[in-house]
Structure 1
Amino acid sequence: MTASGTSSQLSEHFINIKLSTLNLPSSSGSYEKWPEFSDGFKSPVHNDKKFTDSQRLAYLRSCLSKKVSDRIKSLEKTDANNQVAWRILEKGYDDPRTVINNYIKSFFKLSICENASATSIEDLLNNITKRSRVLEALNIGNK
């Protein structure tokens, strides 16, 4: 038996076993949430050497909403396709320009304080601060 035949059989074997339950983030396809998902997935799975690439791909698929999963559904569950799937998702969702544009648009969608209560003003201030911090973290002024 060739080495590639053995590798293929091992990959198929790992795909058919039950994976350990991990508390992983999920991705709904939000550009704004991609960095959080990416970081939260890379540490426990994507960069962990104890998993095979086909296991990583199985974990990745389990974290994706149907909308996101549709981008990689045509890929077979093989070791080789794990990196392909990750590159497809990064290319589709790791887009700082879209994130910045969406956050800027969100400023204009904030509710107006119709009553000048402390609670409504505090809510507005919290929403503005949250969006400002995200833009600051993306180094919008330095690009």
Structure 2
Amino acid sequence: MSTPRRRTRLRSLAALLCLVGLGLAPSACSTTTEARPSSVSGAPSPTGTVCRSTLPPQAADTLQLIAQGGPFPYRQDGQVFRNREHVLPARPTGYYHEYTVVTPGAPTRGARRIIAAQNGTDYYTADHYATFNAIDPRC
């Protein structure tokens, strides 16, 4: 279970990694991906899309593993993502699953994840669930 202090530390680590450039794509370090309220439900929603080609190379590796059903590098990969942060659209438990995007040099799983939705949409977060962008596979 994530605590506010842990999330703050992870966000700080993600920001530091962006600053020193440890393999993060510029779009992953963008400060323009803050969650905005949804006009329909009042809940936060993803702010847009990110081109698959602009993601870190490790994200492409993770997407390929998801498509082929594994094997995954971490035992937590494929577990149900419960959307406790309420940033993604509200859906029944089991609708979303999370996968680690490996962060080179990180002693832990790092902050980067891909969340796969049942409808086929994949979301990328570089800041451990604070913000999300839908991945556009066409670019």
Q: What's the TM-score once normalised by structure 1's chain length? A: 0.26
Which is bigger in relative contact order (C-alpha 8 A, separation at least 6)? 2
The structure in which a higher percent of residues are helix is: 1
The structure in which a higher percent of residues are strand is: 2
Larger gyration radius, structure 1 or structure 2: 1
Q: What's the TM-score once normalised by structure 2's chain length? A: 0.27
